[in-house]
Amino acid sequence: MTALIFDCDGVLADTERDGHRVAFNQVFAENSVAFEWTDSAYQQALKVGGGKERLRALLSPDFTTRHDLPSDAAELEALIASWHRRKTQLYVDLLDSGAVRPRSGVRRLSCEALEQGWRLAVASTSAHASVRAVLNRAMGAELAEQFSVFAGDDVQRKKPAPDIYLLALKQLGVRASDTVVVEDSAIGIQAARAAGITAVIATPSTYTIHEDLSAAAIVVSELGDAGVRTHCAGTNVIGNLIHDVVEQRHLQALLEIGVAPEEASNHADNK
């Protein structure tokens, strides 16, 4: 049994800047909080995995005092939960409006893998509703039904902890050595590696383009489609096999090579 697991935000669609960030800022405005996440500030905020966790990091004692927000811990947690629910609603509305487009290749590669009997899944720190909305947008409702979703509060520790991937492996009934992951961030790659998954493909997104993604087995600009060709953007342990798009045969080649991520750079250097 083999599995293809996608991260959601930044992988299925470049959702962070024009989706999550916009929705968070709408929540702040609705609650008369004179603050908004700029592009650069939100890029830094993404170092914290998970939307509620990101809010929790933002709402420091100084921030809550300046914006007249609750200081009581229980009240603050309730506020975070309420804001996050509202953010999810606004985010889903943005997706429904077509404001965020799927990334190239995700649907094509999923279809190819499914045809070869691979199991499909998404492992994300976002809320289930958000992930399902992106999945439906990127894959279409029929293909989206073939995916298992592991997200939100399914695990307590978020990426870079490996918990979401460990849960996915257990529930899917697959071994780490039979799994390919597609991630866009350093913390996502770290999470997959910590779960024992070595076949990691990185597709940098708007906010992660300058991150060090060399721990992935392959770093490519996109998975690619007709008219949107990919190009190698870093490590590539399967050498020159990838030309225009990442295909199912490349996933199989990654599993057959079976090199650890820390060995991948050396392997690529010797090509």
Phi and psi (nearest 5°) for 120? -120, 140
Taking CA atoms, 183 is separated from 4, 214, 217, 242, in Å, by 11, 12, 11, 18
| Cα-Cα-Cα-Cα dihedral sign, residues 215, 158, 168, 108 | negative
Per the rule left: phi > 0, alpha: psi between -120 and 50, beta: everything else, 231 is beta
18 is catalytic: no
Separation CA 104–CA 246 (nearest Å): 10
Q: What's the rounded Cα separation, in Å, for the pair 227 and 230?
A: 10
- Half-sphere exposure in the Cβ direction for 155 (13 Å, CA): 24
3-state secondary structure of 5: strand
User: Of 166, 176, 221, whose CA–CA distance to 199 is shortest?
Assistant: 176
Catalytic residue among 9, 14, 163, 225: 9
Which contiguous run of DSSP H or E holds residue 241? Answer: none
3-state secondary structure at position 134: helix
**Vertex 268 angle, CA 264 and 271, to 5°:** 145
Catalytic, out of 7, 163, 184, 225: 7
Cα 153 to Cα 50, 65, 112, 180, 209, distances in angstroms: 9, 28, 30, 23, 27
State yes or no: is 225 an active-site residue. no
| Catalytic residue set | 7, 9
